[in-house]
């Protein structure tokens, strides 16, 4: 009612060499969809990051043609029919657009999440590590006592995609052991990286025994303000 609907669709598409390309499409339909365009994320192990971005841009172009009418089905049909052409065009573009420059398009962002608990901790941690790796996000999964924080840095589009995954995937188990989605997550902060922030080079899972240790991790990354604004209330 307030956030709209998010869902993931996987489709196989015959590509140039008649091999199946598995496309993972994430759609977030806002409350006022279809009067408002959906958010779309595209992922595929067989395509480069640049190709996935090109597919996403083409899908959004198509979406604009269907504004104010249901469009998800049409968009899926379109990408099945035109993926070859998009990949050809993408390959023809000058290779100057390296993955290093991708981040400059919409800036590097930082995201701080608070999780209430992890019942299936080992599986949950592995899932978060995989998402961070797939989306080329760096940062920390932090444990201190009962406090669980996820701090991520990366392209804004990747940060958005991570949030959709976190909200829509069955990452944990409930009290009866059944797989369940994360319902107790809070976004503490989502903002553009400032000049004083330092970039984490990797994504790591770390445990801290004192608030001072946790604070030092934030300070090392130039995120002292982020810590002082959002973490102390969790320690009470």
Q: How confident is the model at residue 104 (pLDDT cuts 50, 70, 90)?
A: very low
Least confident of 42-46, 105-109, 129-133: 105-109
Shared domain check, 136 and 205: yes
Report d(CA 30, CA 168) in Å as an integer: 15
Shared domain check, 169 and 60: no
Average pLDDT over residues 102-113: 69
pLDDT at 132 over 90: yes
Shared domain check, 162 and 85: no
Q: What is the CATH number of the domain that holds 32?
A: 3.10.110.10
Give the pLDDT score at 182.
Answer: 80
List, in sequence order, the alpha helices (H) in 20-71: 49-65
Domain assignment of residue 103, yes or no: no
Residue 198 in tokens: 């330092």
Shared domain check, 191 and 133: yes
pLDDT averaged over the chain?
84
Q: How confident is the model at residue 18 (pLDDT cuts 50, 70, 90)?
A: low
Shared domain check, 90 and 34: yes
Shared domain check, 87 and 131: no
Average pLDDT over residues 24-53: 88
137-169 per-position pLDDT tens digit: 999 999 999 999 999 999 888 999 999 888 888
Shared domain check, 227 and 116: yes
DSSP run (H or E) holding 10: strand 5-14
Higher pLDDT, 21 or 195: 21
Domain assignment of residue 40, yes or no: yes
Distances from the Cα of 203 to the Cα of 141, 177, 199, 224, angstroms: 8, 28, 11, 19
Average pLDDT over residues 205-224: 91
Picking from 94, 122, 143, the residue at the C-terminal end of a domain is 94
Give the pLDDT score at 58.
Answer: 92
**Do residues 182 and 115 lie in contact, with contact meaning Cβ atoms separated by under 8 Å?**
yes
**Do residues 56 and 44 lie in contact, with contact meaning Cβ atoms separated by under 8 Å?**
no
Report the C-alpha dihedral over residues 181, 182, 183, 186, rounded to 10 degrees.
-160
**Do residues 114 and 149 lie in contact, with contact meaning Cβ atoms separated by under 8 Å?**
yes
Give the domain range for residue 51.
Answer: 5-94
Give the pLDDT score at 225.
Answer: 86
pLDDT at 86 over 80: yes
Average pLDDT over residues 88-117: 62
Domain assignment of residue 101, yes or no: no
- Is pTM beyond 0.75 here? no
Give the pLDDT score at 103.
Answer: 39
pLDDT at 102 over 50: no
Give the pLDDT score at 128.
Answer: 94
Long-range contacts of 131-134 (CB under 8 A, 24+ apart): 131/162, 131/165, 131/166, 132/162, 132/203, 133/203, 134/43
């Amino acid at each position: 009612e307030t956030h709209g609907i998010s869902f993931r669709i996987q489709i196989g598409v015959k590509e140039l060499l008649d091999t199946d390309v598995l496309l993972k499409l994430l759609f977030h339909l806002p409350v006022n969809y279809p009067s408002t365009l959906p958010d779309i994320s595209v992922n595929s192990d067989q395509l480069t990051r640049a190709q996935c971005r090109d597919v996403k841009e083409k899908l959004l172009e198509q979406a604009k043609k269907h504004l104010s009418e249901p469009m998800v089905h049409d968009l899926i049909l379109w990408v099945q029919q035109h993926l070859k052409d998009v990949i050809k065009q993408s390959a023809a573009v000058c290779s100057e657009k390296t993955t290093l420059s991708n981040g400059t398009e919409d800036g590097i962002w930082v995201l701080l999440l608070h999780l209430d608990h992890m019942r299936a901790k080992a599986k949950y941690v592995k899932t978060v590590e995989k998402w961070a790796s797939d989306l080329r996000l760096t940062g920390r999964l932090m444990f201190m006592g009962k406090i669980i924080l996820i701090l991520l840095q990366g392209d804004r589009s990747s940060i958005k995609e991570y949030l959709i995954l976190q909200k829509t995937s069955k990452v944990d188990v409930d009290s009866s052991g059944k797989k369940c989605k994360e319902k107790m997550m809070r976004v503490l902060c989502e903002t553009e990286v400032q000049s004083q922030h330092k970039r984490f080079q990797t994504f790591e899972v770390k445990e801290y025994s004192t608030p001072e240790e946790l604070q030092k991790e934030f300070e090392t990354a130039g995120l002292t303000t982020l810590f002082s604004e959002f973490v102390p209330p969790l320690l009470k």
